[in-house]
Amino acid sequence: MTRLISLVAAATVVVSSFIIYGGTAAAHERRMVGPYQFVVGWLNEPAYVGLMNSLDLRVTDTRVTPAKAVEGLEKTVTADVQSGGLAPLSLTVTARFGTAGAYNGYVMPTATGTYIFHIKGKVESLDIDEKFESGPGRFGDIEPTTALQYPNKVPAANEIGTRLGDLQSGVDQTRLLSGAAVVIGVIALGAAFAMSRRRA
């Protein structure tokens, strides 16, 4: 009886793993490029700002059944990542140890929002130039960590940048107003001096 319960428990764990694994894979974009299936997303999802993450690229050749992992792409393709309209960052594409046809490109996203992976080069004899953008039905955006932080909330790098910008703007405005006040003060003093001389 105990053995039966152990078997059921083991089976449940295995099935759950598949379900969980399947859910994670669903947060990747799948796209056919010629005969090759590209699966692209973040290595760690949900993907959070300020945490080390990586491009998760998997390529399989669907001309054979079952589909065959395509290896050696770290030598023939390049990848970069882009946040919004900013200049892209080149990633170093490396083959993932122990998983044929899977590749990494590490990056630490420092802003929340939409990211684009741009992959180009050659897959075997096929030229490729594909852009994969995070979003609904594709793979996840970079999310803020605010809701997970405890007990203190730490702003992300881009938020700190924005706040510093606001602070600098405030300082500049204060400097301008101070300058104007000094000018008005000097004029007022001059006028008062002139009036007192005239009265005398």
Partner 1 sequence: MRGLLAALVAASVLILMGGAAAAHANYVKSNPASDARLTKPPTDVRVTFSETPDAHGSDVAVLDVNANRVDKHDVTLVSDEPNTLRVSVGAIGDGGYIVSWTTVSAVDGHETKGAFAFAINAPLPAIKDIGPSAPPPTALEIAGRALSYAGMAVLTGLAFFTMFIRIPADDAESQRERRLVIVGGAALVAGSALLVLNQGTNIPGRLLLLLALRAFAGVVALVSLAVPPRFLPADARREGIAFLGLAAGLTATLVSHAAASGDLGSVAVDYLHVTAISIWSGGVVAFSYVAMPSAGNADPRQLGATIWRFSLTALVAVAVIISTGTWAAFDRLVLIEDLVETPYGIALLAKIVLLGGLLALGALNLLVWGPRMRRGLTSSAQFWRGVMGETALFAGVLVAAAFLTSFAPPAQANGAAFDETKHISGIRIELLTATTLPGRNRFVVRVQQGLTPISGAEKVALRFTMVEHDMGEQELVATERAPGEYVAEGSPTAMLGTWKVQVIVRLAGRPDITALFTVPVSQAAGQEATTKIIAIPPYQLIVFAEPFQPQAGAPLTINVVVVDAKGDPVTGKKVHATFSGPATAPPLDAVENTAELGPGRYRFTVPGLEAGSWKITISVSDAGSGVYDLEVTR
Which residues bind to partner 1, rule: CB under 8 A?
Answer: 83-87, 111, 113-114, 135-137, 158
Query: How near is the Cβ of 117 to partner 1 at its closest, in Å?
Result: 15
Biggest CA–CA distance in the chain, Å, is 116
Among 133, 125, 140, which residue's Cα sits nearest to residue 61? 125
Residues 6+ apart with CB under 8 A from 174: none
Query: How near is the Cβ of 189 to partner 1 at its closest, in Å?
Result: 17
Among 115, 148, 112, which residue's Cα sits nearest to residue 133? 115
Looking at beta carbons only, is 113 or 121 nearer to partner 1? 113
Query: How near is the Cβ of 15 to partner 1 at its closest, in Å?
Result: 24
Query: How near is the Cβ of 135 to partner 1 at its closest, in Å?
Result: 5
Q: Strand pairing partners for 155?
A: none
Looking at beta carbons only, is 12 or 169 nearer to partner 1? 169
Query: How near is the Cβ of 136 to partner 1 at its closest, in Å?
Result: 4
Looking at beta carbons only, is 2 or 129 nearer to partner 1? 129
d(CA 78, CA 86): 18
Looking at beta carbons only, is 4 or 86 nearer to partner 1? 86
The residue type at 82: Q
Looking at beta carbons only, is 103 or 132 nearer to partner 1? 132
Name the E strands within the chain. Answer: 29-33, 36-42, 47-48, 53-61, 68-69, 77-83, 89-91, 94-95, 102-107, 115-123, 126-133, 142-143
